[in-house]
Amino acid sequence: MMEALSLTPVEAEALRLSMKVSCWAVVGSLPMGILAAWVLARWRFPGKSLVDGLIHLPLVMPPVVTGYLLLVVLGKRGFIGAWLYKIFGIEIAFTWKGAVVASAVMAFPLLVRAVRLSMEGTDQGLEAAARTLGAGPWRVFFTVTLPLITPGIITGAILAFARSLGEFGATITFVSNIAGQTQTLPLALYTLTQVPGGETGAMRLCVISIAVAMLALMASEGLARRFSAHMRG
């Protein structure tokens, strides 16, 4: 029983890298996600539909296309990647940092959508009341809006985490499938499906992926309910 529960070195490394990539993807995209949701929910400006479409484009575009575009832009010879490498010595493609970027891009629309829906569901009268009492826009946002949309932020962050955990197409195109460097859980599972006799290992990784994703969703539900209860109290 204990042997069934223990992880092999390949499984442990893939799980560690997946957790690392997913956490950094959420941390890196959360500020921009909240800002984008706020702009889409509260502002009216020319081209808003275009901005909304661009943000949600990774949801409908093949992940391989997203990965290829990232390679063109941030690759070592890309017009941004070449500059980063030449000036700062930063290489993104074919590294775990590139896996973070790919996961963040693919998960960003889910994060923005969850936060935006939460923001659109809040009572704007509370924000208006704060402004009439002399609070500036930023103070209203941090003291009124942000606490009210925290359940949406939690939900969006967990959804982004789960999406990052399962990211495959953009990741394998942008950073390849390098064991110990860019081989996350989905990529390790894919590798085992291509190896004779790898069915058992692939099934174990499948179970691990499902378990981690379920734990993340359960944590999201619990945190959102606890915070909502705290706000009502």
- 104: nearest Cα among 67, 135, 148: 67
Place of tokens 């945190």: 223
- Looking at the structure of the chain, the number of domains it has is 1
Specify the pLDDT at position 30. Answer: 95
For residue 84, being part of any structural domain is answered with yes
**What's the pLDDT score for residue 155?**
86
Residue percentage of the chain with pLDDT more than 70? 95
Residue 213, domain CATH? 1.10.3720.10
Indicate the helix (H) or strand (E) that contains 225.
Answer: helix 199-232
In a domain, 159, yes or no: yes
In a domain, 122, yes or no: yes
Q: Is position 40 within any domain? A: yes
Cα–Cα distance measured from residue 171 to residue 167, given in angstroms and rounded to the nearest whole number? 7
Predicted confidence (pLDDT) per residue in 137-184, tens digit: 888 888 888 888 888 898 899 889 989 999 999 999 999 999 888 999
Residue with tokens 């999201």: 220
Please give the pLDDT value at position 4. Answer: 47
Q: What is the pLDDT of residues 117-141, one digit of tens each?
A: 989 888 888 888 888 888 888 888 8
Asked if the structure places residue 2 within a domain, the reply is: no
- Residue 1 pLDDT > 50, yes or no? no
Which among 114, 141, 130 has a CA at the least distance from the CA of 56? 114
pLDDT at 140: 86
pLDDT score recorded for residue 5 = 53
In this predicted model, which residue has the larger pLDDT, 213 or 16?
16
- The reported pTM is 0.89
DSSP string, 128-170: HHHHHTT--HHHHIIIIIHHHTHHHHHHHHHHHHHHHHT--HH
CA nearest neighbour of 148 among 118, 128, 112, 116: 118
| Rounded-to-integer distance, Cα 205 and Cα 36, Å | 35
The DSSP secondary-structure symbol of 80 reads: T
Note whether residue 1 is domain-resident. Answer: no
Query: What pLDDT, on the 0 to 100 scale, is given for residue 132?
Result: 87
CA dist 7 → 12, 184, 200, 206, 215 (Å): 6, 15, 13, 13, 18
Mean predicted lDDT score pLDDT of the chain: 88
Task: Give the Cα separation of 29 and 45 in Å (integer).
Answer: 23
pLDDT of residue 105: 96
For the stretch 3-22, pLDDT in tens is: 445 888 888 999 999 999 99
Q: Is residue 3 part of a domain?
A: no
* Cβ atoms 169, 64 nearer than 8 A: yes
What pLDDT is recorded for position 232?
A: 66
Domain residues for the domain of 20 are 8-232
* Beta carbons within 10 angstroms of residue 38's beta carbon: 18
Q: Name the pLDDT band for 2 (thresholds 50, 70, 90).
A: very low
Please say if the pLDDT value at position 195 is more than 90: no
